Amino acid sequence: MQNDLALQVGELGSLVLGRVIGGLQCISFDVVNFDVRMSVSTVMVGFDAEAKKKLSKGDYGTAGAISGAVTRFLCQPLDVIKIRFQLQVEPLNRICRDAKYWSVPQAACCIVKEEGLLALWKGHIPGQALSIMYGAVQFVSFEVLTQQMWYLLPHLQEDLSRPVVHFVCGGIAGSLATVFSFPSDVVRTRLVAQGERKVYKNILHACTVIYTHEGPKAFFKGLSPTLIQIAPHTGAQFACYNIFTTIWKNIEYAYLSGTGSLLCGSLAGVCAKTFVYPFDVARKRLQIQGFQHGRVGFGKDFTCRGLLDCLWRTVQGETVMGLYKGLSPSILKAAFTTALYFGIYEQMCQVIAATHSGRVVKECKEQTIEHSECDANVAVNSYVGGVRLLTVDV
- Tell me the pLDDT band of 390, cut-offs 50, 70 and 90: very low
Q: Are residues 171 and 88 in the same domain?
A: yes
Q: Are residues 120 and 217 in the same domain?
A: yes
Give the number of other Cβ atoms within 10 Å of residue 303's Cβ.
13
3-state DSSP of 26-46: HHHHHHHHHHHHHHCCCCCCC
Q: Are residues 186 and 261 in the same domain?
A: yes
Give the number of other Cβ atoms within 10 Å of residue 155's Cβ.
7
More reliable by pLDDT, 125 or 34: 125
**Confidence at residue 392, expressed as pLDDT on a 0 to 100 scale:** 37
Q: Are residues 310 and 256 in the same domain?
A: yes
Q: Are residues 197 and 234 in the same domain?
A: yes
Which is nearest to 171 in space by CA: 226, 244, 236, 243? 236
192 belongs to a structural domain: yes
Given a contact cutoff of 8 angstroms between Cβ atoms, the answer to whether 215 and 186 are in contact is no
Distance, in Å, from the CA atom of 242 to the CA atom of 166, rounded to the nearest integer, reads 8
48 belongs to a structural domain: no
Residue 31 structural domain: 2-41+359-393
46 belongs to a structural domain: no
Distance, in Å, from the CA atom of 238 to the CA atom of 145, rounded to the nearest integer, reads 13
Distance, in Å, from the CA atom of 226 to the CA atom of 126, rounded to the nearest integer, reads 18
Query: What residue type is assigned to position 390 of the chain?
Result: L
Q: Are residues 284 and 155 in the same domain?
A: yes
**Confidence at residue 358, expressed as pLDDT on a 0 to 100 scale:** 63
* Domain CATH code at residue 167: 1.50.40.10
Distance, in Å, from the CA atom of 207 to the CA atom of 183, rounded to the nearest integer, reads 9
pLDDT at 271 over 80: yes
49 belongs to a structural domain: no
Query: How many domains in the chain?
Result: 2
Distance, in Å, from the CA atom of 139 to the CA atom of 264, rounded to the nearest integer, reads 17
Least confident stretch, 154-168, 285-299, 356-370: 356-370
Dihedral angle sign, alpha carbons of residues 64, 70, 73, 75: negative
Q: Are residues 33 and 79 in the same domain?
A: no
- Tell me the pLDDT band of 75, cut-offs 50, 70 and 90: confident
Q: Are residues 33 and 82 in the same domain?
A: no
Which is nearest to 52 in space by CA: 371, 356, 264, 339? 356
More reliable by pLDDT, 176 or 364: 176
Given a contact cutoff of 8 angstroms between Cβ atoms, the answer to whether 33 and 365 are in contact is no
For 291, the 3-state DSSP assignment is coil
14 belongs to a structural domain: yes
Q: Are residues 265 and 371 in the same domain?
A: no
120 belongs to a structural domain: yes
Q: Are residues 251 and 135 in the same domain?
A: yes
47 belongs to a structural domain: no
Q: Are residues 126 and 185 in the same domain?
A: yes
Q: Are residues 240 and 364 in the same domain?
A: no
Mean pLDDT for the chain?
75
118 belongs to a structural domain: yes
pTM (whole model) above 0.85: no
For 240, the 3-state DSSP assignment is helix
